[in-house]
């Protein structure tokens, strides 16, 4: 049975799913050294934001197949290191969207009405109404930085509260922003004009200290800023100075450059600042959502199924996977087959999506073709995660093309590989939506289902060849399960595809090509 380590607190709903397929150990609060010591025993690791999964931990996790982040941000996982090792990294892109958006909105209203300090004051026995005079958000301008899932929900609710909306997101269309009632502007204008600014962007090299002394200086002295996205997007030292010196009115932070927050000037500020300990996703509903979402993906991957929200397999979104799932096995089979026909060292692979398939996303099928192509060299070490990297490191040139006009099957996939044995091609399609059929080998039409052991010959279409080959295989005790010839013209060149019951014995290929009329022979194990 597989073993899963859960190293951060996860809702029981997730643990229950994992125990369907694995032994689950919940060990929270491990030091990095403790984690490194035990991670080698596990097939999967499930975390929240508390565990930092470094390259060292990934390298020690020799049996890891999947790392599941019960949340959105995977910035606590060294994703490139996991990708190189073929470990799939999954998250829950939507499970805590509402929770995080509502936390940001709560922060905005709490800042405006001084709720935390007013509450503390009453609890300490005071009745001070003057100190806590607030401001309305109605008719004020909210600047949303990052108009993705969380930013969009914040914008929708803020609009309903009567706020005017500005948004900065270089990757969002004007139409989408307009749909949400936002005017898309440059960051400088947003900083200058907004009364409230709320951040909903990932932390990347481009967004680190996006909000710094210079940009804070552009804000109105009455403006407030909220960060429920990621620590480090705001330069905390510069923020503390800006608030202390009255350059801006206040801030609310849920996330910090270093968590847990240690010694910090931010703690000494008064009612102008609200600090929460990374609570954006901490609602009962969100924790159930993310735990189920990620545990289901870990379960699926441990059962050999694809994950629906893998962050390191580009293009493998749930909708795309659903549509392409039947074709993924086709692509893998064709990749494996053409790789063996072309010989060990493949220089280039062309993947052509034909017919109805031409309108689909090609990336998953290219990845699946590469996985098949590299299978002979890498066996179980190659998977959807690392197939592209492995191909790149081997210098394999990958070309993607489309031919919507190909009409022989509803959708078919054509692969052409050039390697040490020359250039070879195979085409395949699905019959009845799931049965794989080879429909063409090296340009010769055939119609055979691929089988574990196959023999292909290129020969002259002339009387006697089939008999001679059959006798030769018989003399080596090779049983033929099925055989089909594909030819373009009578008595021209032809391809023979044979399914055989066992692997071909050593030395027989050399005998086959001695048969008069047979030019080439290739054996394939799928």
The DSSP code sequence of 5-51 is EE-S---HHHHHHHTTTEEEEE--S--HHHHHHHHTT-SEEEE-SS-
Interface stretch with ligand 2HG, choices 66-74, 258-266, 427-435, 515-523 (CB under 6 A): 66-74
Is residue 278 part of the annotated active site? The answer reads yes
Q: Which of helix, strand or coil describes residue 490?
A: coil
SS (H, E, C) 453-480: EEEEEEEECCCCHHHHHHHHHHHCCCCE
Give the integer Cα–Cα distance in Å for 421 and 145. Answer: 55
Among 96, 336, 383, 427, binds ligand 2HG (CB under 6 A): 96
From the candidates 278, 299, 308, 459, give the one annotated as an active-site residue.
278
Of 22-30, 31-39, 70-78, 330-338, the segment contacting ligand 2HG by CB under 6 A is: 70-78
**What's phi and psi for 468, nearest 5 deg?**
-65, -45
Nearer to ligand NAD, 256 or 456 (CB): 256
User: By the 8 A CB rule, do 118 and 100 touch?
Assistant: no
Could you report how far apart the first and last alpha carbons of the chain are, in Å? 27
Shortest distance in whole angstroms from residue 49 CB to ligand 2HG? 4
**Which letter does DSSP use for residue 360 in this model?**
S
Q: How far is it, in rounded angstroms, from Cα 353 to Cα 361? A: 9
- What Å distances lie between residue 435 and 276, 385, 422, 485, CA to CA? 55, 25, 29, 20
Contact 302, 87 (CB under 8 A): no
Q: Which of 5, 24, 58, 72 binds ligand 2HG (CB under 6 A)?
A: 72
Q: Does 73 bind ligand 2HG (CB under 6 A)?
A: yes
Point out which residues bind ligand NAD (CB under 6 A). Answer: 71-73, 96-97, 100, 145-151, 168-172, 200-202, 206-207, 228-230, 254-255, 278, 280-281
The residue of the chain with the least Cβ separation from ligand NAD equals 148
Angle in degrees, CA 500, 503, 507, rounded to 5: 110
What is the C-alpha separation between 396 and 370, in angstroms, rounded? Answer: 9
Which positions from 44 to 63 touch ligand 2HG by CB under 6 A, shown as an x/- string?
A: ----xx--------------
Catalytic one among 178, 245, 259, 323?
Answer: 259
- Least spacing, CB of residue 122 vs ligand NAD, in Å: 28
For the chain, how many residues are written? Answer: 526
254 binds, among ligand 2HG, ligand NAD, none (CB under 5 to 8 A by kind): ligand NAD
- To the query of whether residue 397 is one of the catalytic residues in this protein, the response is no
User: Is 383 a binder of ligand 2HG (CB under 6 A)?
Assistant: no
C-beta closer to ligand NAD: residue 278 or 308: 278
Supply the minimum distance, in Å, between the C-beta of residue 445 and ligand 2HG: 52
Q: Is 230 a catalytic residue?
A: yes
Q: Which of 48, 114, 200, 230 is catalytic?
A: 230
Query: Binding to ligand 2HG by residue 439, rule CB under 6 A?
Result: no
Q: Which is nearer to ligand 2HG, 11 or 56 (CB)?
A: 11
Instruction: Please give the Cα distance from 417 to 424 (Å, whole number).
Output: 6
Decide if residue 282 touches ligand 2HG (CB under 6 A).
yes
Q: Which residue has the tokens 């959105």?
A: 72
For the bound state, the minimum distance from the C-beta of residue 163 to ligand 2HG, rounded and expressed in Å, comes to 25
Q: Which does 48 bind (CB under 5 to 8 A by kind): ligand NAD, ligand 2HG, none?
A: ligand 2HG
Give dist(CA 107, CA 386) in Å, integer. Answer: 41
Residues annotated as catalytic (active site), given as ranges: 230, 259, 278
Contacting residues toward ligand 2HG, per CB under 6 A: 48-49, 71-73, 96, 278, 280-282
């Amino acid at each position: 049975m597989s073993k899963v380590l859960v190293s951060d607190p996860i809702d029981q709903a997730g643990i229950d799913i994992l125990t369907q397929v694995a032994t689950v150990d919940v060990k929270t609060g491990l030091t990095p050294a403790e984690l490194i010591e035990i991670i080698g025993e596990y097939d999967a690791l499930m975390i929240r934001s508390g565990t930092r999964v470094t390259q060292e931990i990934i390298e020690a996790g020799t049996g890891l197949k999947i790392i599941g982040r019960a949340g959105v941000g995977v910035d606590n996982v060294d994703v490139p290191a996991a990708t190189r090792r073929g470990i799939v990294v999954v998250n829950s892109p939507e499970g805590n969207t509402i929770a995080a958006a509502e936390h940001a909105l709560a922060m905005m209203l709490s800042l405006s009405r001084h709720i935390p300090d007013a509450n503390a004051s009453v609890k300490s026995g005071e009745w001070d109404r003057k100190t806590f005079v607030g401001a309305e958000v109605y008719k004020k301008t909210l600047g949303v930085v990052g108009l993705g899932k969380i930013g969009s929900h914040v914008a929708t609710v803020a609009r309903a509260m009567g706020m005017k909306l500005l948004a900065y997101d270089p990757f969002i269309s004007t139409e989408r922003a307009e749909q949400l009632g936002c005017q898309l502007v440059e960051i400088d204008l947003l900083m200058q004009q907004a009364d409230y600014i709320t951040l909903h962007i990932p932390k990347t090299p481009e967004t680190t200290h996006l909000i710094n002394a210079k940009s804070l200086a552009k804000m109105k002295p009455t403006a407030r800023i909220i960060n429920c996205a990621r620590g480090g997007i705001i330069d905390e030292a510069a923020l503390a100075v800006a608030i202390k010196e009255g350059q801006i009115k206040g801030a609310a932070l849920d996330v910090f450059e270093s968590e847990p927050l240690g010694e910090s000037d931010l703690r000494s500020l008064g009612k102008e600042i609200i600090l929460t300990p990374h609570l954006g996703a901490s609602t009962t509903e969100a924790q159930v959502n993310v735990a189920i979402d990620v545990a289901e993906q870990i379960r699926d991957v441990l059962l050999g199924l694809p994950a629906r929200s893998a962050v390191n397999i580009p293009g493998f979104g749930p909708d795309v996977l659903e549509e392409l799932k039947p074709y993924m096995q086709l692509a893998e089979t064709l990749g494996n087959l053409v790789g063996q026909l072309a010989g060990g060292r493949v220089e280039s692979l062309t993947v052509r999506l034909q017919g109805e398939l031409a309108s689909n996303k090609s990336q998953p099928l290219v990845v699946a073709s590469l996985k098949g192509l590299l299978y002979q060299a890498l066996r179980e070490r190659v998977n959807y995660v690392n197939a592209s990297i492995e191909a790149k490191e081997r210098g394999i040139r990958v070309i993607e093309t489309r031919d919507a006009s190909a009409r022989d099957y509803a959708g078919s996939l054509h692969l052409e590989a050039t390697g040490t044995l020359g250039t070879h091609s195979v085409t395949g399609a699905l019959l009845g939506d799931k049965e794989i059929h080879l429909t063409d080998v090296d340009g010769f039409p055939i119609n055979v289902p691929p089988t574990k052991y196959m023999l292909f010959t290129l020969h002259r279409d002339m009387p006697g060849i089939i008999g001679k080959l059959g006798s030769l295989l018989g003399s080596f005790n090779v049983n033929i399960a099925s055989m089909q010839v594909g030819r373009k013209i009578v008595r021209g060149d032809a391809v023979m595809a044979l399914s055989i019951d066992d692997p071909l014995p050593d030395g027989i290929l050399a005998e086959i090509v001695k048969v008069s009329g047979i030019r080439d022979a290739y054996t394939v194990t799928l």
